[in-house]
């Protein structure tokens, strides 16, 4: 199946309202499940940025489980540099952009190093000597001099720190999988990463490094590794098949509205810092498929649900007109994703614009925004990831909760992963029903029901529904 390509257009408000009014589910609802949340929160917005560890962004945030220090205030941890022979302690690095390190499954094991958390520089040095066009590398950006021990502080990311001070910071949020972007995004929407040979879910086998790659990723690797002059057709780069069940399937059955909004790849930042998206010749509705896997899930592509994958302009209009769907995933492009070599400043500005827009929306009072980063990007973190199954968790990443009902200045020390988003969606909109092969009406062979593992915390504890809803905290996208 060739995924439909769409051209990004600015959708008129009347069309957006009509689209929401005529929203169709891809399967008939079979159970009496309330469409609305069991809490004052009617709308969940998940913003997924790229490739930053917790210590890299919040390692010096007061009260958080940050970089360990000695009694004299110096850092109590370091990583050996195999070339210089020095053990390099974390250091403040205002450089923007930074390179980070490799972040494949093997890289995750190497940096963790049996719990010693001392392989970050060695792994970046190793990657610098390899041909990083290898598909198994999962992203191998590396610098001449390693910068993985560098961290940011409030002077570098003031808006992120402002959200943490005024809302909720999660200091034990882990990437759901010990691997790179594609498996992380598969887990984000489905709680699993696998490779399938047919549309039969039971043809799927868990795969944390090489799940079926989207055709744009295959073409990219081919162009890197082979002569560009050699003629290839679309048939040489077939679509992957993700035959297991993702969270949109039970949402469709229950009549819970959702949207997956993609900021088209390759577009530079907007001149207007308050605009969520803007057009130029390179704009389109799709970032690389590794950030947008839903069209390749069989339960999505074989139903009307595929029409819920939309460009950012649609999200912008829905926010402005007060027509937010119950669940929204908001996905950046490469320019504003914070994925090295993208800049932190551009990413923070874009996230701030998304948050400001929701805060100005008529639906701010009933919305919870979750901001996180898909995986660690090679940057140092000192916390050993818990092992809840053979695939993860991965390394620690930042997590923020922004809502009028979010606890003020609260640091959540629960063990969390992006599976917790699925768990919260299920608890608030699906009566607690899980993506469980035994009960969800669409069996698949996943080995773990991730939302049900006892180690996973409860995101509802980040909210206080007895407090007076707090007003918006509008921030300058380009502070200072």
Tens-place pLDDT, residues 131-187: 454 444 454 544 457 899 999 999 999 999 999 999 999 999 999 999 999 999 999
For β-strands 194-195 and 205-206, DSSP reports them as: antiparallel
> Rounded to the nearest 10 degrees, how much is the dihedral formed by the CA atoms of 173, 445, 301, 292?
30
Mean pLDDT of the chain: 86
Residue pair 209/102 in contact (Cβ under 8 Å)? The answer is: no
The 10s digit of each residue's pLDDT in 268-286 is 444 444 445 444 334 345 5
| Average pLDDT of span 227-243 | 75
The pLDDT score that the predictor gives to residue 230 is 67
Cβ(150)–Cβ(340) under 8 Å? no
Burial 14-45 (b: 16+ CB within 10 A, else e): eebbebbeebebbbeeeeebeeebebebbbbb
SS3 content of the chain, % helix, strand, coil (to 5): 30, 15, 55
Does the pLDDT value for residue 257 go beyond 50?
yes
Return the pLDDT at 47: 98
C-beta of residue 244 within 8 angstroms of C-beta of residue 254: no
Sign of CA dihedral 166, 167, 172, 176: negative
Q: Is the pLDDT of residue 50 over 50?
A: yes
Compute the distance between CA of residue 249 and CA of residue 446 in angstroms, rounded to an integer. 16
Tens of pLDDT, residues 381-416: 999 999 999 999 999 999 999 999 999 999 999 999
Q: What is the pLDDT of residue 228?
A: 59
Structural domain contains residue 159: yes
Q: Quick one: pLDDT at residue 280?
A: 38
In a domain, 400, yes or no: yes
Domain for residue 315, yes or no? yes
Query: Could you give the CA distance from residue 254 to residue 429 in angstroms, rounded to a whole number?
Result: 8
Cα 151 versus chain centre, distance: 20
Confidence at residue 226, expressed as pLDDT on a 0 to 100 scale: 66
Q: Give the mean pLDDT of 66-85.
A: 97
Tell if the pTM clears 0.75, that is, is over it. Answer: yes
- Is residue 56 scored above 60 in pLDDT? yes
pLDDT score for 415: 98
Query: Per-residue pLDDT averaged across 341-352, rounded?
Result: 96
pLDDT tens, position by position, 454-471: 999 999 999 999 999 999
User: Is pLDDT of 265 > 90?
Assistant: no
- Which CATH number covers residue 46? 3.40.720
Q: How far is CA 114 from CA 75, 109, 110, 413, 426, in A?
A: 21, 8, 8, 23, 34
Domain count, the chain: 1
Does 387 map to a domain?
yes
Residue 247 belongs to a domain: yes
Kind of pairing between the strands at 367-373 and 43-49 = parallel
Residue 95, in any domain of the structure? no
Residue 402 within any structural domain of the chain: yes
Model pLDDT, residue 19: 33
Range 429-443 average pLDDT: 96
Report yes or no: 88 and 122 within 8 Å, Cβ to Cβ.
Answer: no
Model confidence band, residue 214 (pLDDT cutoffs 50, 70, 90): confident
Q: Pairing between strand 399-402 and 168-170?
A: antiparallel
Stretch 91-103: mean pLDDT: 95
Cα 73 → chain centroid: 33
Nearest C-alpha neighbor of 177 from the set 377, 329, 381, 395:
395
Domain ranges, residue 261: 13-56+155-216+241-462
Q: State yes or no: pLDDT of 83 exceeds 70.
A: yes
In a domain, 259, yes or no: yes
**Using 50, 70 and 90 to split pLDDT, how confident is the model at 218?**
confident
* Residue 38 banded pLDDT, cuts 50, 70, 90: confident
For the cut 80, the answer to whether the pLDDT of residue 12 exceeds it is no
Instruction: Quote the pLDDT of residue 288.
Output: 57
Predicted confidence at residue 2, as pLDDT, reads 39
- The pairing of strands 91-92 and 87-88 is unpaired
């Amino acid at each position: 199946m060739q995924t439909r390509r769409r051209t990004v257009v600015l959708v008129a408000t009347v069309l957006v309202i009509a689209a929401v009014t005529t929203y169709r589910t891809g399967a008939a609802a079979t159970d009496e499940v309330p469409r609305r949340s069991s809490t004052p929160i009617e709308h969940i917005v998940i913003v997924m940025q790229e490739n930053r560890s917790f210590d890299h962004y919040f390692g010096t945030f007061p009260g958080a489980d940050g970089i360990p220090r000695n009694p004299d205030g110096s850092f109590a941890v370091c990583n050996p540099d195999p070339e210089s022979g020095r053990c390099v302690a974390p250091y403040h690095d205002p450089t923007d952009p930074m390179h980070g390190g490799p972040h494949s499954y093997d890289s995750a094991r190497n940096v963790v190093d049996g719990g010693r958390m001392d392989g970050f520089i060695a792994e970046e040095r190793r990657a610098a000597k390899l041909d990083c066009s290898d598909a198994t590398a999962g992203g191998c950006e590396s610098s001449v001099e390693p910068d993985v021990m560098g961290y940011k502080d409030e002077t570098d990311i003031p808006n992120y720190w402002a959200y943490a001070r005024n809302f909720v910071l999660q200091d034990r949020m882990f990437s759901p999988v010990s691997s790179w972007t594609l498996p992380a995004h598969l887990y984000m929407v489905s709680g699993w990463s696998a490779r399938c040979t047919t549309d039969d879910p039971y043809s799927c086998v868990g795969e944390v490094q090489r799940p079926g790659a989207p055709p744009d990723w295959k073409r990219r690797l081919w162009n890197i590794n082979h002569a560009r002059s050699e003629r290839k057709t679309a048939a040489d780069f077939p679509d992957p098949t993700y035959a297991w069940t993702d969270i949109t399937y039970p949402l469709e059955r229950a009549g819970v509205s959702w949207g997956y909004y993609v900021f088209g790849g390759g577009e530079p930042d907007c001149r207007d810092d308050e605009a969520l998206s803007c057009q130029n010749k390179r704009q389109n509705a799709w970032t690389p498929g590794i950030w947008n896997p839903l069209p390749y899930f069989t339960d999505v592509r074989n139903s009307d649900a595929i029409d819920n994958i939309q460009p950012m302009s649609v999200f912008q209009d829905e926010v402005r007109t007060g027509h937010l769907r119950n669940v929204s995933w908001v996905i950046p492009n490469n320019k504003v994703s914070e994925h090295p070599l993208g800049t932190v400043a551009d990413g923070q500005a874009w996230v701030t614009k998304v948050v400001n827009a929701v805060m100005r929306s008529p639906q701010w009072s009933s919305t919870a925004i979750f901001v996180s980063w898909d995986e660690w990007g090679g940057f140092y973190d000192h916390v050993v990831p818990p092992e809840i199954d053979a695939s993860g968790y991965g390394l620690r990443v930042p997590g923020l909760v922004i809502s009028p009902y979010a606890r003020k200045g609260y640091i959540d020390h629960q063990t969390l992963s992006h599976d917790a988003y699925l768990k919260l969606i299920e608890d608030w909109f699906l009566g607690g029903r899980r993506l469980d092969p035994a009960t969800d009406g669409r069996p698949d062979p996943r080995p773990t029901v991730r939302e049900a593992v006892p180690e996973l915390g409860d995101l509802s504890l980040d909210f206080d529904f007895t407090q007076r809803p707090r007003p918006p905290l509008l921030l300058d996208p380009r502070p200072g």
